[in-house]
Structure 1
Amino acid sequence: MPLSTKNRALQIAVLVETDNGWGRSVVEGVADYAQRFGPWNLLIDPRDHSRGWSLPDRWRGDGIIARVSTPLHLEEIARCGLPAVNVDNVFENQEGMGQVTTDEHSWATMALSHFRERGFTHFAYFAPPSHEYSKKGAQAFFAVVTADGHDCHVYRPGYRGGRRISRDEEHNRIHRWLSHLPKPVAILAVDARRGRQLTEICSLERIRVPDEVAILAGDTDEFLCNLSSPPLSSIAVASQRIGHEAAAMLDRMMQGHTAPIKPLSIPPVRVVGKQSTDVLAIDDPMIVQALRFIQTHAFRGIAVEDVLREVPVSRRYLELQFKRRIGRLPAEEIRRLRLERGRELLTQSDLSVEAISAACGYAGATQFGVAFCRQFGATPLAFRRKLTRS
């Protein structure tokens, strides 16, 4: 168990914006660690009238956790001369600075899997130029889509981050891009704010969501996702865990340990499905019927034979069409749904492995454990311990 090296309360600056769901969740993770292993006094999101960081002159700190997004941020942290951990990936491999971020490859793979199981074969990535996020998300999604044998259309409006353009000009540029995309298309937006921007433009331009354009936000902000019309599907990144792990890393650094050379990458938790991706982009009604049956009954111990009793097609035809349209065989899709539910229950609940295996449609914990380990590289108990380690 980590122990602070001093009896007094340590002074920690948390330079992470709290005006969005991701930032608030990161700060909650830091606060959870501070309450368990402190005492720490947290200086949270100190900003002046210009919305820039502004550490009080009288603040005498011991460490910093920050979302570093500009060279000025790096300069200010270096000037403090304190142990620091970065929770973003705009700047990487900064000597002497720890880093905890979302695993971009897992994030992109989760998004593609969500789209592929709905039958999409056209994909796009939306992230207007900005200093608020790196290009790694676009690169990761482009890589997994092309590796799957498909094209990925990335929004490139032709200007750099930081340039100010009018709302109307931005609207027109995005509308032109949307108009030229092949339909139906599945779009991964970098975050919830940009995802909601897409739904607004689609609504104004009478582009049907999700029938023509399915939209998945790269992070979850319940306020923005629920306010969107239609409600916005999103990827639940492990932002609270990122905050907790960043605090643990900072604690070790304040005790004299050097910053890890490699960033700690945290995989996302799951896709929170809502109406913006609630569609099956498949023109074969039999395959749609089979997919719906699997999605409804996967956790009841069904097998491919049960699916074939539901749809009057041959097993070979069913397997060929599944492989072509969603990249998996029917048996693989059943197994994927069960294991994803198992991973979610391990993450979000305190249910026993036996109860989770039953909830996922497995005959017993041993069968579930073998399948889970084969899929995720760890036993269910080891996976849960890793999530809750301190």
Structure 2
Amino acid sequence: MPNSSKIRVLEVAVLVETDHSWGRSVVQGIADYCNKFGPWNLLTDPRDYSRRWSLPDRWRGDGIIARISSPLQLEEIVQTGLPTVNVDDVFPNLPHMGHVRTNEAERAQMAVSHFQGRGLKHFAYYAPPSNEYSKECEKAFVAELSEQNLSCHVYKPGYRVTRRIGRDEQHNRVHRWLSNLPRPVAIFAVDARRGRELTEICSMEGISVPDEVAILAADTDDLICGLSSPPLSSISVASQRIGYEAAVMLDAIMRGESCPSEPRLISPNCVIAKQSTDALAIDDAMITKAMRFIQTHAFQGIVVEDILREVPVSRRFLELQFKRYFGRLPAEEIRRLRLERGKELLSQSELSVEAIADACGYAGTTQFGVAFRKRFGQTPLAFRKNLHGS
């Protein structure tokens, strides 16, 4: 970054809600960048008495980072004429503005792979009409399934975003939709709040989660996912890195560089698997037993021979059945589980790479590092650093 004998503190508004974990992580990423390359004076979460975004009249800013979610908010930001970076996709392709957001195609691939690893063959997407999120997550999920010649049952209640409906009517509409879905079904919910809403409705209506309905949220929230009954599986998106990269982009624009013509897409971290997707939708008792053995012992250094000692079948039969039900071989499933756990521990803990390798069932950091790089294209340390935009 350029040095100057006289450093002016830049005024940057951060129009990102801090009342949920995604927003707080985005703001943390912005703050991390400021601490390294500032100084910036951050105006965070400025809202008026009605909880609407409201920039103070006396504020004289240099730039804005925002989660733009309404036409009114967009109009107010455009009227400022300030360099702006958008960190959401409700308005995905705004001209003269930078964009940093989650790579939806990769998130969809992660969700479908997670469901298919449990033998699930029926899929649905849940997102009631709302201005809080766009259709991009839904489009990517449906497209990923279409590429595999699979269909998706999308929740379409038949009312507009502007209509307000009561809790009971919402419950009844969702229950009717759930009742008409094939079973067992894998449901991808647009966020953790909506995922928990589904678990509550299923509980009230006597629908078993995950045996009849497996639920995965498209983002994670530690509190909401933990309070859900059963605990809610979710996808950990790199929200802190989104904030950091948004700050990098805004800094460049404020220094006179042109807005990038394409959005900066950030890969999601990993699936945080909990009880809401802990299902095995297959009708072969031996293969179910083999998969449960893998899930229980994958991190203890097991190999395929250990599975064959547990289930009395030939290796050829085991491999053919795994390919049929899960689309991968038993050895590939062991490796997938280990590396996904490694990813989760790298992003959710401060454990050393050596400790993580051991926790995932690897003989050492070299073996873990080689396997991790082969699957994800980067070393474990590089992955951890990239989470924070370092």
TM-score scaled by structure 2? 0.93
Question: Is the contact made by 1:188 and 1:215 (CA closer than 8 Å) also made in structure 2?
Answer: yes
- Letter aligned with residue 271 of structure 1: V
Q: CA deviation at 1:225?
A: 1.7
Structure 2: how far apart are the matches of 1:355 and 1:172?
48
Structure 2: how far apart are the matches of 1:3 and 1:109?
43
Question: Is the contact made by 2:124 and 2:187 (CA closer than 8 Å) also made in structure 1?
Answer: yes
| Mean Cα deviation higher: 352-361 or 156-165 | 352-361
**Structure 2 residue 339 is matched with structure 1 residue 339:** yes
Q: CA deviation at 1:366?
A: 4.5
Q: CA deviation at 1:138?
A: 0.7
Q: CA deviation at 1:373?
A: 2.9
Q: Which residue of 1 aligns with 2:23?
A: 23
| Mean Cα deviation higher: 372-381 or 314-323 | 372-381
Structure 1: how far apart are the matches of 2:33 and 2:107?
25
Structure 2: how far apart are the matches of 1:309 and 1:5?
71
Partner SS, residue 281 of structure 1: coil
Percent identity, aligned pairs only, is: 70
Q: Which residue of 2 aligns with 1:13?
A: 13
Structure 2: how far apart are the matches of 1:160 and 1:4?
53
Q: CA deviation at 1:191?
A: 0.4
Q: Which residue of 2 aligns with 1:219?
A: 219
Q: Which residue of 1 aligns with 2:330?
A: 330
Equivalent residue runs for 1:105-254 within 5 Å? 105-254=105-254
- Letter aligned with residue 83 of structure 2: P
Structure 2: how far apart are the matches of 1:322 and 1:266?
32
- Letter aligned with residue 134 of structure 1: S
Question: Is the contact made by 2:271 and 2:344 (CA closer than 8 Å) also made in structure 1?
Answer: no
Partner SS, residue 210 of structure 1: coil
Question: Is the contact made by 2:126 and 2:187 (CA closer than 8 Å) also made in structure 1?
Answer: yes
**Structure 2 residue 75 is matched with structure 1 residue 75:** yes
Partner SS, residue 32 of structure 1: helix
- Letter aligned with residue 172 of structure 2: N
Q: CA deviation at 1:374?
A: 2.7
| Mean Cα deviation higher: 145-154 or 3-12 | 3-12
Question: Is the contact made by 1:118 and 1:281 (CA closer than 8 Å) also made in structure 2?
Answer: yes
Q: Which residue of 2 aligns with 1:298?
A: 298
- Letter aligned with residue 190 of structure 1: V
Partner SS, residue 271 of structure 1: strand
- Letter aligned with residue 83 of structure 1: P
Question: Is the contact made by 2:238 and 2:387 (CA closer than 8 Å) also made in structure 1?
Answer: no
Structure 2: how far apart are the matches of 1:101 and 1:4?
32
Question: Is the contact made by 1:235 and 1:271 (CA closer than 8 Å) also made in structure 2?
Answer: yes
Question: Is the contact made by 1:2 and 1:251 (CA closer than 8 Å) also made in structure 2?
Answer: no
Q: CA deviation at 1:88?
A: 0.1
Q: Deviations over 1:299-342 (max 9, x none)?
A: 33322122111111122221122112222111111121122233
Q: Deviations over 1:102-137 (max 9, x none)?
A: 111111111122212222111111011111111111
Gaps of 5+ in 1: none
**Structure-2 change in CA distance of 1:294 and 1:382 (3 Å):** same
Question: Is the contact made by 1:215 and 1:277 (CA closer than 8 Å) also made in structure 2?
Answer: yes
**Aligned length, in residue pairs:** 390
Q: Which residue of 1 aligns with 2:63?
A: 63
**Structure-2 change in CA distance of 1:253 and 1:5 (3 Å):** farther
Question: Is the contact made by 2:272 and 2:344 (CA closer than 8 Å) also made in structure 1?
Answer: no
Structure 2: how far apart are the matches of 1:40 and 1:103?
28
Question: Is the contact made by 2:118 and 2:280 (CA closer than 8 Å) also made in structure 1?
Answer: yes
Q: Deviations over 1:253-289 (max 9, x none)?
A: 1111222111111111122222222222223221121
Equivalent residue runs for 1:356-371 within 5 Å? 356-371=356-371
| Mean Cα deviation higher: 80-89 or 315-324 | 315-324
Q: Which residue of 1 aligns with 2:84?
A: 84
Q: Which residue of 1 aligns with 2:97?
A: 97
Question: Is the contact made by 2:271 and 2:340 (CA closer than 8 Å) also made in structure 1?
Answer: no
**Structure-2 change in CA distance of 1:234 and 1:381 (3 Å):** closer
Structure 2: how far apart are the matches of 1:331 and 1:257?
49
Q: Which residue of 1 aligns with 2:318?
A: 318
TM-score scaled by structure 1? 0.93
**Structure-2 change in CA distance of 1:225 and 1:5 (3 Å):** farther
Structure 1: how far apart are the matches of 2:317 and 2:147?
25
Structure 1: how far apart are the matches of 2:66 and 2:311?
54
Structure 2: how far apart are the matches of 1:181 and 1:81?
48
Partner SS, residue 258 of structure 2: coil
Q: CA deviation at 1:367?
A: 4.0
Structure 2: how far apart are the matches of 1:163 and 1:309?
59
Question: Is the contact made by 2:87 and 2:246 (CA closer than 8 Å) also made in structure 1?
Answer: yes
Q: Which residue of 2 aligns with 1:373?
A: 373
